[in-house]
Structure 1
Amino acid sequence: MRVDPNYLQGLSASISQSTATEATLTNELSSGLRVQQLSDDPTAAAQALQLTSQASRADTFVQSATQQTGVMQVTDSALAEVVTQLTSAISLATQATNGTLTNAQQSSIATQLQGIQSEVLTLANTSYLGQYLFSGSKGATVPFSLDTSGTATYAGDTVQQTLKTPTGQSLVTNLPGSAVFSSTFAALGSVIAALQSNTVTAANTTALSTALSDVSTQRTALGSSLNRLTASSTYTQTQVANLQVTQNALVAADTVQVATDLKNTETQRTAMLSLMAALSKGSLFDYLK
């Protein structure tokens, strides 16, 4: 029986194609990916690239949010202690205005208030990760100093820093010290001076109460911003996970189907190789040469 040369050429081409298909399927099975380069599926590859870009931007926000959350939590802790210190100061000032204290007792209260003033100064100069929290945008600058008279000087600026969420919302992440501590240092300095000169009045207590209100207001605003940042970060993390699932669906291989296809391809290739070997042993094959 004469074998058509075209048949042999076609069989050889089929074997080559089967070998290539087997290599592709083996690669898909080992990597778990159906699309590894643009030519595999241009549409899916383009969509996957877009999803990767979206996920990268979202992940960058999550990382920034995580860092800023830490900063804001430390800031809130400092403000909570300031509230405690001012509450104590108000109690002491109230005692001093009852009109029954001796000069020595008033002097003792003044000393205690100076201790509170010093503690508040330390809190106002709180740093985290090498940056001062209440310096506005001047994180490397110590925000507050006190002179010998107890007068505070602010060296920071009034810039409120923000972090933009993926939805475009700008969230405030810091509190400039001038907005938080100006009335506090003024009230403490005033009541200490009044006690030292025996001229303390209810107005001094009122000033401390106003300072406490100012700090509490700023702390509430920071807490609200922190809550929104936390919620946005949590939502964005969910979005990143969803993007990754969608991307995986675009490029991932169906490993069960790939394994089946690979087995079938191997079987077909083995059969074709056997056929080629059988044909190559016949005398007719020699004739066809």
Structure 2
Amino acid sequence: MRISTAQFYESSAANYQKNFANAIKSSEEASSLVRVNTAADDPVGASRLLQLGQQASLLSQYSANTTSIKASLGQAESVLTSITNVLARAQELASGAGNAGFTDDDRKANAAELAQIEEQLLSLMNTQDENGKYIFAGSQGDTVPFTRNSDGTYSYNGDQTTLNLPVGDTMSMATNTTGWAAFQQAINTSRSQVSMTAPTVDDGRVTLSNGQVSSNPKYNSEFRSGEPYTISFLSSTQFKITDSAGNDVTSEASQNGTFSSSKGAEAQTVSFRGVDLRLSINLKPGDATPPNTEIAGHSFTLAAKPDSFNVSRSPGNPSTAVVTGASVSNTNAYNASFPSGGAIIKFTSATNYELYASPLTADSKPVSTGTMAGSTATASGVNFTFSGAPAAGDQYVVAVNNHQTQNVLDTISQLRTVLNTPTNGDPIAIQKLNAGLQAGMANLASGANQVASAVSDIGGRGSALEIQNETNMSLSSANTQTQSAIRDSDPAEVMTRLTLQQTMLQASQLAFSKIAQLGLFNKV
């Protein structure tokens, strides 16, 4: 075989370039200790590194989300703890006001401090974060969550939406606590009411409180099914309770409807279907012994408090008409169609209107329609009384209070009213005061329990967050090690390979120079 000089040079140059390139690559690898720079270096390893890089980015974002959630939860917990302390002081004031030695002035002093507590609570419940967002407004961070209505009650303007952030591949965590969950869902223990039906003029001999709900299950399943009840006093020792169907249900009352007249103004507890009533007998000089004639004939109705409504006009209304009163006129129509979450009355003309479920959107359809009758608009079984003439385009927001739950701000407001009402030493007024204090303290305890539940929920989320964060840190560490194992070089192996390639390069240079001297002309 003949090998031309050109072929020899081309072959030698190609081999030399290959060896030189390998040596340069190994030298760079020895310098950086990175084995996989491109997919060509290791296609399988490069693909795996891409996956690991994506996982590392997610883990980094999870870490950032965890930090953000911790900060939000920490602020919410701090505010809720402050609210708990404020409520504890309110409970002390309410408890102290029941002291027999307290005068009307003493109770007014407590009421004045409760007014300051009410303002402090309102401020805390409207707390903003460092970005100016209201932390208890749900997803409505730019909306003031709690506002005072014209009648002194309070409304929640936020929503029930929690803002979630992912903290793991299969786990998301709520960053906020809504005011609805923390404050609006406190069980209202004072949601029954008593009204005297006989005698026509109250003689003060028998007083019966509105009652306190002592058992929610019994109240919801038994009490509500038989209301309204009639409590009829038959003698100085016995009363009878009949339900709405006329059935005698006295056997379900404590002591089968018996009581003592000899205890006088001392309150006696009557328990019936999950409701505790305070009964007091106030005999007068000259009453018979036993006072059967004086007590018999007194009767009361007992039922759940009816739903109440707070109606406000929209700021952009063309007219200045306002709603001055609202009440249920048709129970069946109300239960069947009135929106439980609130409604909006929209006037399409000066007399015609439509009722929508709140909030009103472009896709909303009217629940009912109607025409004004004088100054009254009747919608889904509710009469709304207007002062002034509405105009086309007017809208009115209707908030419904079913009394099942009660905001702690409303509880304190009601408690202030009780403490500001003078008794002047009147036994009957004192009995009403004690009943009001009992209702206020029970609802304060309910509100405090709801706040404590919210704090507990934050603590649970914090614990879960810590566990997930530890898991993420372990995954991140494993991710880093796996990436290093695939991407990084073994220093000993790289240096050995580089030395071999440099030796081969030197050998090829020497071989080329020797072979190049074997030309024919060198032998002439």
TM-score, normalized by the shorter chain, greater than 0.5: yes
Residues in 1 aligned to 2:469 and 2:142: alpha-carbon distance in whole angstroms = 27
Name the amino acid aligned to 1:143. P
Query: Larger deviation: 21-30 or 78-87?
Result: 21-30
Aligned residue number for residue 231 of structure 1: 467
Q: Indicate if the aligned counterparts of 1:173 and 1:225 stay in contact, CA closer than 8 A.
A: no
**Alignment counterpart, residue 458 of structure 2, candidates 222, 225, 247:** 222
Q: Given the alignment, which residue of 383, 406, 418 partners 1:194?
A: 418
Q: Secondary structure at the match of 2:35?
A: coil
- Give how far 1:23 is off: 1.5
Tell whether 2:267 aligns with 1:32.
no
Residues in 1 aligned to 2:468 and 2:32: alpha-carbon distance in whole angstroms: 34
Identify the residue that residue 45 of structure 2 maps to in structure 1.
44
2:91 counterpart residue number: 90
Distance 1:57 1:121 in 2: 40
Tell me by how many angstroms 1:150 deviates: 4.4
Structure-2 residue corresponding to 1:124: 125
Query: Counterpart of 1:196 in structure 2: which amino acid?
Result: N
In structure 2, the CA distance between the partners of 1:197 and 1:58, relative to structure 1 (3 Å rule), is: same
TM-score, normalised by the number of residues in structure 1: 0.89
Instruction: Tell me how far apart the structure 2 counterparts of residues 159 and 237 of structure 1 sit (CA, whole Å).
Output: 30
Map Cα deviations across residues 181-239 of structure 1 (whole Å, 9 max, x no partner): 23311211111121122445222111111110111112111211221122112211221
Describe the shift of the 1:206–1:121 C-alpha distance in structure 2 as closer, same or farther (beyond 3 A): same
1:196-215 pair list within 5 angstroms: 196-198=420-422, 199=433, 200-215=436-451
1: CA distance between counterparts of 2:520 and 2:464?
Answer: 80
Task: Determine if contact 1:159/1:176 at 8 Å carries over to the other structure.
Answer: yes
Secondary structure of 1:245's aligned partner: helix
Higher mean displacement: 133-142 or 177-186: 177-186
Residues 1:176 and 2:178 are matched in the alignment: yes
| Higher mean C-alpha deviation, range 75-84 or range 26-35 | 26-35
SS state of the match for residue 173, structure 2?
strand
Cα RMSD of the aligned pairs, angstroms, is 2.4
Structure 1 segments (4+ residues) deviating >4 Å? 2-9, 147-150, 285-288
Of 52-61 and 132-141, the range deviating more from structure 2: 52-61
Q: How far apart are the structure 1 equivalents of 2:77 and 2:521?
A: 91
Match of 2:160 in 1: 158
Q: Deviations over 1:158-184 (max 9, x none)?
A: 112333443423433322102212331
Residue 265 (structure 1) aligned to one of 485, 496, 501 = 501
Task: Give the letter for the 1:20 counterpart.
Answer: A
8 A contact 2:65–2:166 mirrored in 1: no
Find the aligned partners of 1:175 and 1:114 in 2 and give their Cα distance. Answer: 26
Cα deviations by residue, 1:241-285 (Å, 9 ceiling, x for unpaired): 2112111211111122212221222232123223334444x3728
Deviations 1:61-93 (A, max 9, x none): 221121011101111111111111111110111
Q: How many angstroms apart in 1 are the aligned matches of 2:8 and 2:455?
A: 85
- Deviations along 1:13-41, one digit per CA (max 9) or x if unpaired, are 22111110012112212222111111111
Return the alpha-carbon distance in structure 2 between the equivalents of residues 147 and 111 of structure 1: 20
Aligned partners of 1:224, 1:266: CA distance in 2, in Å?
63
In structure 1, runs of 5+ residues without a counterpart are none
User: What amino acid does structure 2 have at the position aligned with 1:216?
Assistant: A
Distance 1:236 1:150 in 2: 50
- Please say if 1:141 is aligned against 2:143: yes
2-structure distance, mates of 1:123, 1:272: 83
User: Partners in 2 of 1:285 and 1:57 — Cα distance?
Assistant: 70
141-150 or 240-249, which moves further after superposition? 141-150
Separation of aligned partners in 2, 1:251 and 1:119: 59
The structure with the larger Rg is: 2
**Greater relative contact order, per chain length (Cα 8 Å cut-off, separation 6+):** 1
Q: Cα offset for 1:60?
A: 1.5
1:121 maps to a residue whose letter is L
Task: Give the number of equivalent residue pairs.
Answer: 286
- C-alpha distance in 2, partners of 1:185/1:196? 17
Contact 1:3 1:284 in 2 (8 A): no
Partner of 1:248: 484
Q: Is the 8 A contact 1:136 1:159 kept in 2?
A: yes
More helix by share: 1
Question: Would the aligned equivalents of 2:84 and 2:448 in 1 still touch at CA under 8 Å?
Answer: yes
Q: Is the 8 A contact 2:30 2:491 kept in 1?
A: yes
Give secondary structure in 2 for the equivalent of 1:171.
Answer: strand
Is residue 125–residue 132 contact of structure 1 (8 Å, CA) maintained in 2?
yes
Give the distance between the partners of 1:49 and 1:9, measured in 2 at CA.
40
SS at match of 1:114: helix
Structure-2 residue corresponding to 1:78: 79
Relative distance call for 1:283 and 1:124 in structure 2 (3 A) is: same
Task: Name the SS for the 1:141 alignment partner.
Answer: coil
Q: In the aligned structure 2, how far is the partner of 1:165 from the partner of 1:204?
A: 42
Q: Structure 2, unaligned stretches of length 5 or more? A: 185-406, 423-432
Match of 1:275 in 2: 511
Greater CA drift, 144-153 or 181-190: 144-153
2:109 — aligned with what?
108
Report the Cα offset of residue 156 of structure 1: 0.8
Amino acid at match of 2:156: Y
